[in-house]
Amino acid sequence: KAGVTQTPRYLIKTRGQQVTLSCSPISGHRSVSWYQQTPGQGLQFLFEYFSETQRNKGNFPGRFSGRQFSNSRSEMNVSTLELGDSALYLCASSLRRGGDVNTEAFFGQGTRLTVV
């Protein structure tokens, strides 16, 4: 089956602009999580969506937002970009059933965002 697809793979933006990243989860997966990876901070959790609702949120400013559509595809938006937002943004999908244990999260290749 197809894996997690993130688009675009690479992006260059200017400070102050906004950006939207897209994530298509594995078919049948209803949970989508977003992560930011930088050399200094490592992998940090941004937020998780399930059934079009945000279920968990990490410690990021309100400039970082997201949403999930009825087909489980998710978008992440960053407004008023700062140089420090340059990072690899990763999306992960998992098969979440209420009360069950998920065995693993499948990650996409990520979107490399560079803010200049």
- What is the binding site for another protein (CB under 8 A)? 4, 31, 33, 35, 42-45, 48, 55-56, 58, 88, 90-92, 94, 96-110, 112
Beta strand 53-57 with 5-7 is unpaired
**Residues facing residue 49 across a β-bridge:** 32, 54
Report, in Å, the least distance between residue 79 CB and another protein: 23
In contact, 48 and 32? CB cutoff 8 Å: yes
| Rg over CA atoms, the chain | 14
Question: Which two three-digit tokens encode residue 59?
Answer: 């410690």
* Nearer Cβ to another protein (24/31): 31
* Nearer Cβ to another protein (58/86): 58
* Nearer Cβ to another protein (15/55): 55
